[in-house]
Amino acid sequence: MEFEKELKVTETNIPGLLVFELPVHGDNRGWFKENWQREKLTSLGLPDFGPVQNNISFNTTRGVTRGIHAEPWDKYISIATGEIFGAWVDLRPGDSFGEVFTTRLDPSRAIFVPRGVGNSFQTLVDGTAYTYLVNAHWSLEQKKTYTFVNLADPELNIQWPIPLEESERSEADLQHPLLKDTKPMGPRRTLVTGSNGQLGHAIQAYVESHHLEGFEFTDIDTFDFSDPSSYEQYDWALYGTIINAGAYTAVDKAETPEGRITAWKANAQGPALLAKVATEHKITLVHISSDYVFDGTMEEHGESESFAPMSVYGESKAAGDIAVANVPRHYILRSSWVIGEGHNFVKTMMMLAKKTTENDSTITVVDDQYGRLTFTKDMAEAMFHLLDSQASYGTYNLTGSGRIASWREIAQEVFELSGADRNRVKPVTTDEYMGNVSGPVAPRPVHSALDLSKLIAAGYQPADWEQSLAEYVEDTAQ
């Protein structure tokens, strides 16, 4: 063991596998070291992985050999006394699957092993104590996700200092499969709320078309995320991402006494509870926001504009945004004028276009509210782009690109695409429209267009809403 080394880190050929040289201070009485010092190690590149458990493996004799086990958590391994030869194998899906790294560890060296990298070691002296910090508690459900590979696999070609036939191994380790028969460790699970909504359907379609694994789709009947007791059914250590596609979007009904309660539960209390569990378990939380958090006085809204909601719906959405923004790993995607599967403005206009063709009538549509359509297909694509590219956490505006238009102009486009006369769509002011509606009507922002430059800078180019509209009308009409 080397004394008085400088603290430093070395990257290996396995992504995320990091070796640390630890300063050990010794004299005739023995030695002392800082085995794990969060601030110093994270400054060198150690992920702030949040250990929750410390385990020790004491090995009586030289030649004890254990592994190769890949577990569903990160771990930081060090030696309390003795020395080992360690071998690590990447068992995550991807180009580095099967990569091998070997080195020796004594009390002056440590290694960080990311989730899904197989771990094994062989003791080189009697009385070796091997210690490791992990960031998840063991459970039977966690154990089901373990992945193994055989210590003696010739494809790995690990040069064990003590021949394996002379080592002490468990019967279970002897039975581990070869690399060619090993199933890569799957990703942490992703929980999606609001799966029966417009965006929820688009997310499910994206997952299916891209053959993604580990997704669980829920709605209020299976997981009411505004109810604290609903969280008890999950082992959150198994999850890496939560996509909150659930919300109360009945803007006018939110102005009623009953609707106000429901809106605040779904749009504020629910996201606050999701934020709490995401923070506690280092989960990435994706949350959908709305242009209604603004008052619409700016012609185009940036991500950093101060909230100024005018309605109960807007107030509840702003409260949810504030809660989610406190999660260290979060994406808030702010949209407007959402169109997807289910009832929406475009489908209503398509139906009216058919009726006007049949009976030569006209309709009136508001002409003094301005924005861009957001199609749920594009929302899903942008969402997974941010997740897959590991874009910087924060808030991103997400709508279609292209010109800013009024609701009347959009209705006219739908009429034309549907084979009807666009001139049958007549303008009406918001005040005139609201005056003809019975019951509470929530105030709408005049300007709902969102600045898309941050999302574009993150590498995603939103589709032009007019092109998306044409495709949507064609697909829906079939």
Catalytic residues: 69, 132
Per-position b or e across 264-294, b if 16+ CB within 10 A of its CB: bbbbbbbbbbbbebbeebbbbbbbbbbbbbb
Nearest to 338 by CA among 372, 383, 381: 372
d(CA 119, CA 16): 14
Q: How far from the centroid of its chain's Cα atoms is residue 109's Cα?
A: 33
Q: The tokens of 302 are what?
A: 């940036």
Q: Which residue(s) pair with 331 in the sheet?
A: 286, 394
Answer yes or no: are the C-beta atoms of 299 and 445 closer than 8 Å. Answer: no
What is the spatial distance between Cα 259 and Cα 312, in angstroms, rounded to a whole number?
Answer: 9
Q: Is the preceding omega at residue 456 within 30 degrees of 0, hence cis?
A: no
Across the beta sheet with 84-90, what order do the strands follow? 100-105, 84-90, 117-123, 65-70, 147-148
CA-to-CA dists, residue 283 to 16, 213, 320, angstroms = 18, 17, 17
* Burial of 140: CB neighbours in 10 Å, binned 0-12, 13-18, 19+: exposed
What is the rounded distance in angstroms from the CA atom of residue 427 to the CA atom of residue 469? Answer: 20
